[in-house]
C-alpha cells in the first residue's frame, strides 16, 4: 500500500478542515469518500474537490471495500458506535476526542479495539502533536526540569464564538468533557500517572444558557495523582482577547510554560491602547499544525504497521476523569478513584 485510502464521517466545523488535510496536505493519504447526514455538505465537497464517493449513510460507506481507513469527526455521541462498526468492518480508525460521552460507550470502543488488534486505532488528542507540547515532553524526558510535580492548565474559548458554543452545548458532554479533557490528557502524559482524587467547581457567570445542560461557562478542578503529583485546571467559554490555551509544568528543578500569551504573531503594537500583541481566535488557528501532524501520524502508523502514542485507554481514562469532574462540579463533592485491581496472582 503506497497511499492509505480514507473515508471521513463528519464535514462540520472540524471535519471539513481535517478532510482538507487528508485531501491536500498528507502526501501518503487519499481522500476517497465523504459522509455526512447533510446531503449538501457531501455534494459540495465531492464537486469542489473531485472526491469519488459520497454517502449520507455511514454504514453504506463502510461497505466500500476500496477504503483502508475511516476518520470519525462526527458529534461526540456518535463516536463509539461508529468506531466499533468501522473496526469490525476491517478498517483502521481515527476518532476525534472525546472517545465517548458515557463510560459504557467507551468500554464498547475499548472492546472493539481489543478484538481488532491488527488494526490501528488512534484518538485525536492533537495537543500531543503540537510542536511546542512535543518539545516540552522531550525536555521533561531529558530531565531538564527535574521531576514534574504540578500541571497548571488553562483552556478558554473566545467570547467571539460563544453562539456556536451554546448551540453545541446539548451534544458537547459539558465543559469538562469537551474542553478540559485535552488538559486532563496532557496532565496524565506529562505527569505519567493517573488521577487518584479530584474536586471541581464552577458556574455560569456570564452565559446562563449553559445551565439548562448542567454545564458552566467557567469551571475549575484540582486533582491529586497516584504518584503524588498535582494538577489545576481552569476551562471557560468567554476569553475576551482570543483563544487562550496555556499550560505550565512545574518540576523540582524548573518550570516549562507553553502559550502564556496566545499571540498570533511576533508583532508588538504600540498605539493609543498601549503596548499589545494580537491573539489567535480559535482552535483551528492555534492547533492547525497539530491537527495535520496527528493525522500524518495515523497514516504513517498504518503504513509502518505500528501503534500510535494515544490509545483507546487514554480516551477512556480522560473521559472517566472528565465525568468525575462534572459530577463533582454538579454535586459539590470530592471524587476518588479506586485503583484497578489486577486479575493476576502476582
Ligand atoms: P459539527 O456539528 O460542526 O459537525 C458534525 C458533522 O457530523 C456534520 O457534518 C454532521 O452532518 C455530521 N453528522 C452528524 N451525525 C452524523 C451521523 N450519524 N452520520 C454521519 N454524519 C453525521 O461538529 P464539530 O464541531 O465539527 O465537532 C465534531 C467532533 O470533533 C466533536 O466530537 C468535537 O468534540 C470534535 N472536535 C475536536 C476538536 C479538537 O480540538 N480536537 C475541535 C473541534 C471539534
299 in any annotated domain? no
213 in any annotated domain? yes
Instruction: Compute, in angstroms, the gap from residue 14 CA to the centroid of ligand 1.
Output: 6
301 in any annotated domain? no
Cβ-in-10-Å burial (0-12, 13-18, 19+) of 337 comes to middle
Q: What residues flank ligand 1, with Cβ below 6 Å?
A: 9-15, 35-38, 41, 58, 73-76, 78, 96-97, 124, 126, 178, 283
Cβ-in-10-Å burial (0-12, 13-18, 19+) of 273 comes to exposed
303 in any annotated domain? no
Residue 136 has pLDDT above 60, yes or no: yes
Percentage helix, strand, coil, to 5, in the chain? 40, 25, 30
| Single pTM value for the model | 0.94
User: Is residue 209 domain-shared with residue 263, that is, in the same domain?
Assistant: yes
Please report how the helices 181-191 and 131-141 are oriented relative to each other, as an axis angle in degrees rounded to 10.
30
Instruction: Compute, in angstroms, the gap from residue 281 CA to the centroid of ligand 1.
Output: 19
User: Is residue 151 domain-shared with residue 281, that is, in the same domain?
Assistant: yes
User: Is residue 105 domain-shared with residue 198, that is, in the same domain?
Assistant: no
CATH number of the structural domain spanning residue 95: 3.40.50.720
Return the ligand 1 atom nearest residue 76 CA: 32
Of 7, 10, 126, 310, which is best to mutate to test ligand 1, by the most ligand atoms within 8 angstroms of its C-beta?
A: 10
Residue 291 has pLDDT above 60, yes or no: yes
> What number of other Cβ atoms are within 10 A of residue 230's Cβ?
15
Instruction: Compute, in angstroms, the gap from residue 75 CA to the centroid of ligand 1.
Output: 4
User: Is residue 69 domain-shared with residue 141, that is, in the same domain?
Assistant: no
User: Is residue 263 domain-shared with residue 168, that is, in the same domain?
Assistant: yes
Instruction: Compute, in angstroms, the gap from residue 167 CA to the centroid of ligand 1.
Output: 13
User: Is residue 177 domain-shared with residue 81, that is, in the same domain?
Assistant: no
Looking at residue 146, what is its pLDDT? 98
Atom 17 of ligand 1 has which residue's CA nearest to it?
Answer: 37
Give the total number of structural domains in the chain: 2
Residue 344 has pLDDT above 50, yes or no: no
Instruction: Compute, in angstroms, the gap from residue 173 CA to the centroid of ligand 1.
Output: 13
User: Is residue 97 domain-shared with residue 158, that is, in the same domain?
Assistant: no
Average pLDDT, integer, range 256-264 = 93
User: Is residue 225 domain-shared with residue 141, that is, in the same domain?
Assistant: yes
300 in any annotated domain? no
**Contact assessment for residue 9 and residue 82, using Cβ atoms and an 8 Å cutoff:** yes
User: Is residue 87 domain-shared with residue 11, that is, in the same domain?
Assistant: yes
Residue ranges of the alpha helices (H) in the chain? 15-20, 39-49, 58-62, 79-88, 103-115, 131-141, 162-172, 175, 181-191, 283-286, 288-304, 312-331
Residue ending a domain, choose from 127, 160, 181: 127
Instruction: Compute, in angstroms, the gap from residue 155 CA to the centroid of ligand 1.
Output: 20
Residue 293 has pLDDT above 90, yes or no: yes
Residue 341 has pLDDT above 70, yes or no: no
- Distances in whole angstroms, Cα of residue 311 to Cα of each of 87, 159, 166, 305: 14, 33, 30, 15
Average pLDDT, integer, range 230-254 = 97
Q: What is the largest CA-CA distance in the chain?
A: 71
8-state DSSP, 23: I
User: Is residue 330 domain-shared with residue 203, that is, in the same domain?
Assistant: yes
Share of the chain above pLDDT 70, in %: 98
308 in any annotated domain? no
CA gyration radius, the chain: 20
| φ and ψ at residue 141, rounded to 5 degrees | -65, -30
pLDDT digits 0-9 by tens, 174-208: 999 999 999 999 999 999 999 999 999 999 999 99
Range of the domain at 55: 4-127
Average pLDDT, integer, range 244-259 = 97
Residue ending a domain, choose from 96, 127, 158: 127
Of 7, 8, 12, which is best to mutate to test ligand 1, by the most ligand atoms within 8 angstroms of its C-beta?
A: 12
Residue 342 has pLDDT above 80, yes or no: no
Residue 81, preceding peptide bond in cis (omega within 30° of 0): no
Atom 40 of ligand 1 has which residue's CA nearest to it?
Answer: 283
Rounded distance, CA 194 to CA 96, Å? 22
Query: Could you tell me the pLDDT band of residue 298, with boundaries at 50, 70 and 90?
Result: very high
SS3 315: helix
**The C-alpha cell that represents 182 in the structure block:** 485535552
302 in any annotated domain? no
pLDDT digits 0-9 by tens, 34-87: 999 999 999 999 999 999 999 999 999 999 999 999 999 999 999 999 999 999
Looking at residue 80, what is its pLDDT? 97
Return the ligand 1 atom nearest residue 11 CA: 9
User: Is residue 123 domain-shared with residue 134, that is, in the same domain?
Assistant: no
Average pLDDT, integer, range 267-282 = 95
Residue 346 has pLDDT above 60, yes or no: no
CATH number of the structural domain spanning residue 164: 3.30.360.10
Query: Could you tell me the pLDDT band of residue 1, with boundaries at 50, 70 and 90?
Result: confident
Query: Could you tell me the pLDDT band of residue 340, with boundaries at 50, 70 and 90?
Result: low
Of 15, 106, 161, 314, which is best to mutate to test ligand 1, by the most ligand atoms within 8 angstroms of its C-beta?
A: 15
Looking at residue 171, what is its pLDDT? 86
Residue 343 has pLDDT above 70, yes or no: no
Residue with C-alpha cell 487514554? 314
Looking at residue 281, what is its pLDDT? 93
User: Is residue 121 domain-shared with residue 136, that is, in the same domain?
Assistant: no
Please give the mean pLDDT across all residues of the chain. 96
Rounded distance, CA 12 to CA 18, Å? 10
Residue ending a domain, choose from 111, 127, 143: 127
Rounded distance, CA 222 to CA 79, Å? 28
Amino acid at each position: 500500500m503506497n497511499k492509505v485510502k480514507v473515508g471521513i464521517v463528519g464535514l462540520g466545523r472540524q471535519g471539513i478542515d481535517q478532510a482538507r488535510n487528508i485531501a491536500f496536505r498528507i502526501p501518503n493519504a487519499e481522500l476517497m469518500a465523504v459522509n455526512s447526514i447533510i446531503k449538501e455538505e457531501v455534494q459540495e465537497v465531492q464537486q469542489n474537490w473531485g472526491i469519488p464517493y459520497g454517502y449520507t449513510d455511514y454504514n453504506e460507506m463502510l461497505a466500500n471495500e476500496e477504503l483502508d481507513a475511516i476518520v470519525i469527526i462526527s458529534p461526540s455521541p456518535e463516536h463509539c458506535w461508529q468506531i466499533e462498526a468501522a473496526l469490525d468492518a476491517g478498517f483502521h480508525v481515527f476518532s476525534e476526542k472525546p472517545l465517548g460521552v458515557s463510560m459504557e460507550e467507551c468500554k464498547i470502543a475499548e472492546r472493539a479495539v481489543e478484538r481488532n488488534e491488527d488494526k490501528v486505532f488512534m484518538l485525536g488528542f492533537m495537543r500531543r502533536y503540537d510542536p511546542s507540547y512535543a518539545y516540552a515532553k522531550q525536555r521533561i524526558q531529558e530531565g531538564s526540569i527535574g521531576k514534574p510535580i504540578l500541571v497548571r492548565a488553562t483552556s478558554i474559548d473566545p467570547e467571539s464564538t460563544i453562539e456556536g458554543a451554546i448551540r453545541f452545548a446539548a451534544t458537547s458532554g459539558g465543559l469538562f468533557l469537551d474542553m478540559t479533557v485535552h488538559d486532563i490528557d496532557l496532565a496524565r502524559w506529562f505527569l505519567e500517572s493517573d488521577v487518584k482524587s479530584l474536586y471541581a467547581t464552577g458556574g455560569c457567570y456570564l452565559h446562563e444558557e449553559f445551565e439548562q445542560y448542567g454545564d458552566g461557562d467557567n469551571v475549575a478542578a484540582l486533582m491529586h495523582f497516584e504518584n503524588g503529583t498535582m494538577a489545576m485546571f481552569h476551562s471557560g467559554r468567554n476569553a475576551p482577547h482570543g483563544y487562550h490555551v496555556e499550560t505550565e509544568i512545574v518540576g523540582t528543578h524548573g518550570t516549562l510554560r507553553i502559550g502564556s500569551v496566545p499571540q498570533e504573531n511576533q508583532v508588538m503594537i504600540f498605539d493609543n491602547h498601549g503596548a499589545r500583541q494580537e491573539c489567535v481566535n480559535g482552535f483551528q488557528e492555534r492547533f492547525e499544525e497539530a491537527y495535520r501532524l496527528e493525522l500524518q501520524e495515523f497514516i504513517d502508523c498504518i503504513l509502518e504497521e505500528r501503534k500510535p502514542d494515544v490509545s483507546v485507554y487514554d480516551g477512556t481514562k480522560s473521559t472517566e476523569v472528565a465525568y468525575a469532574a462534572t459530577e463533582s462540579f454538579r454535586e459539590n463533592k470530592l471524587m476518588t478513584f479506586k485503583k484497578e485491581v489486577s486479575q493476576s496472582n502476582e
